[in-house]
Amino acid sequence: DTGVSQNPRHKITKRGQNVTFRCDPISEHNRLYWYRQTLGQGPEFLTYFQNEAQLEKSRLLSDRFSAERPKGSFSTLEIQRTEQGDSAMYLCASSLEGLRVTDTQYFGPGTRLTVL
Amino acid sequence: AQSVAQPEDQVNVAEGNPLTVKCTYSVSGNPYLFWYVQYPNRGLQFLLKYITGDNLVKGSYGFEAEFNKSQTSFHLKKPSALVSDSALYFCAVSPLLNQAGTALIFGKGTTLSVSS
């Protein structure tokens, strides 16, 4: 169990550029979540996947944001036409869902995005 | 609206003294409750969770939390604080069998500072 990994750890981009982040969950975890954390706030839910199916998207996930989990393993989060307000820490988490509705979500180290 | 409140932005305690970090929630149903800790430039680490059963839950690093349904609270406690406990602590809830999914709702976080 190597934990949840995220790449890159830091990303600096100019306004209007597109960025893509990657998350590798704990192996065999079937659920994968994306959260956004801004300074002084707790993480806010963006979206989650059950295997390769995207089951829920928050209203925070504007049409500039898209997430995929093509083979039910790693996931990517893309932000198009970045804005300064997109600057935040983007956190990925994974969990193993079985008979219980909710199990523990384990978080990766995050990708810090700075939009200039 | 569903929410989590951590009424204290910062808690200061001396090493060796007991500590309490407060959390109250407003969620319909019977939620699952979690505590996470975040160290600088790192992701969230899971401490403990309450699903059902005994109201006193024991977790990692000597932490425990007490669930109080009538007061809708889930306070984090430790009998004897260590300097290494200094970090940012988040309370989170996940509504049970919520059709919207199992996204965690986080509080804003409480900074714990333990002095030697």
* Shortest distance, CA A81 to any CA of chain B (angstroms): 26
In terms of Cα–Cα distance, which of B44, B104, B106, B107 is closest to A108?
A: B44
Contact B90 A43 (CB under 8 A): yes
d(Cα A7, Cα A78) in Å, to the nearest integer? 12
If you measure CA to CA, which chain B residue comes closest to A92?
B43
Q: Does B58 touch chain A if contact means CB atoms closer than 8 Å?
A: no
Contact A90, A111 (CB under 8 A): yes
Q: Reply yes or no on whether the pLDDT at B89 is more than 50.
A: yes
Q: Does B90 touch chain A if contact means CB atoms closer than 8 Å?
A: yes
* pLDDT given at position B97: 52
* pLDDT given at position B100: 47
Q: Reply yes or no on whether the pLDDT at B99 is more than 80.
A: no
Q: Which of A83-92, B5-14, B51-60, B75-84 has the lowest mean pLDDT?
A: B51-60
Q: Reply yes or no on whether the pLDDT at A1 is more than 70.
A: no
Structure tokens at A22: 């990657």
In terms of Cα–Cα distance, which of B51, B41, B45, B48 is closest to B94?
A: B51
If you measure CA to CA, which chain A residue comes closest to B4?
A42
Contact A4 B43 (CB under 8 A): yes
* Shortest distance, CA B45 to any CA of chain A (angstroms): 7
